[in-house]
């Protein structure tokens, strides 16, 4: 699954992966991260998530990484905010009060460019990546966020019924990707109402990852 796949999805408006509302697991379990107002949360592969303005409204700062510039344009447009746009060495940075979004390949993003990260919220990244990429992603994410604690949201379902993305991520897969760096605790799991994309029964799971 390459960059063209995601660019095409945004270009064509095929946004089945865009939740369009604040994620229920984020609302219910952000407190597990024990963040203070003003602390900064990093969202990998953030798209135009409604979670971003919600986090800002709760008093947090937000940084994000997104491949599609269309998604980032839409995000700021829907927030009614005009960002300042500057270029780093490998990314384009869209910034406004409390929020910085870096457009480009997350694998080319560095800790020095991202800056301070107090926690990570991953609802859309691990579940979006094919199996052969996940361990590399997990290592890179830990590097650029300096092993900040994570709130991770995943899905589990029968992939014989539907192919990803979002992919089904088992507990064992999370351990394989993150277990060397984090202690992993399941906070909650619940049935996805109506099934995933209305196609397959699925469960959504929230996990807290604390650095070892």
User: Does position 1 have pLDDT exceeding 90, yes or no?
Assistant: no
d(CA 112, CA 163): 36
User: What CATH number has the domain bearing residue 9?
Assistant: 3.40.50.150
Count the residues in the chain.
212
Range from 2-6, 15-19, 58-62 carrying the lowest mean pLDDT: 15-19
**How large is the average pLDDT for residues 136-140?**
97
DSSP string, 20-49: -S--HHHHHHGGGG-PPTT-EEEEET-TT-
Instruction: Kindly report, residue by residue over 7-27, the tens digit of the pLDDT.
Output: 555 455 555 554 678 999 999
Higher per-residue confidence, 165 vs 102: 102
Q: Which residue range(s) make up the domain with 177?
A: 3-211
DSSP string, 145-203: TTT--EEEEEEEE-TTT---SSPP--HHHHHHHHTTTEEEEEEEEEE-TT-BTTTB-EE
Number of domains in the chain: 1
Instruction: Kindly report, residue by residue over 100-117, the tens digit of the pLDDT.
Output: 999 999 999 999 999 999
């Amino acid at each position: 699954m390459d960059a063209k796949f995601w660019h095409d999805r945004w270009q064509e408006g095929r946004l089945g992966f865009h939740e369009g509302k604040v994620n229920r697991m984020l609302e219910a379990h952000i407190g597990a991260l024990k963040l203070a107002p003003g602390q900064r949360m990093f969202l990998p592969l953030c798209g135009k998530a409604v979670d971003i303005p919600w986090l800002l409204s709760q008093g947090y700062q937000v940084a994000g990484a997104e491949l599609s510039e269309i998604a980032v344009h839409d995000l700021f447009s829907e927030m009614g905010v005009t960002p300042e746009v500057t270029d780093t060495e490998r990314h384009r940075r869209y910034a406004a009060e409390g929020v910085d979004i870096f457009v480009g390949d997350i694998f080319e993003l560095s800790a020095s460019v991202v800056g301070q990260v107090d926690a990570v919220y991953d609802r859309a990244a691990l579940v979006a990546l094919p199996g052969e990429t996940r361990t590399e992603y997990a290592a890179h994410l830990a590097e650029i966020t300096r092993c900040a604690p994570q709130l991770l949201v995943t899905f589990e379902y029968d992939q014989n019924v539907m192919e990803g993305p979002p992919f089904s991520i088992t507990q064992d897969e999370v351990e394989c990707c993150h277990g060397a760096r984090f202690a992993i605790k399941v906070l909650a799991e619940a049935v996805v109402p109506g099934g995933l994309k209305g196609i397959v029964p699925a469960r959504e799971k929230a996990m807290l990852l604390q650095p070892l």
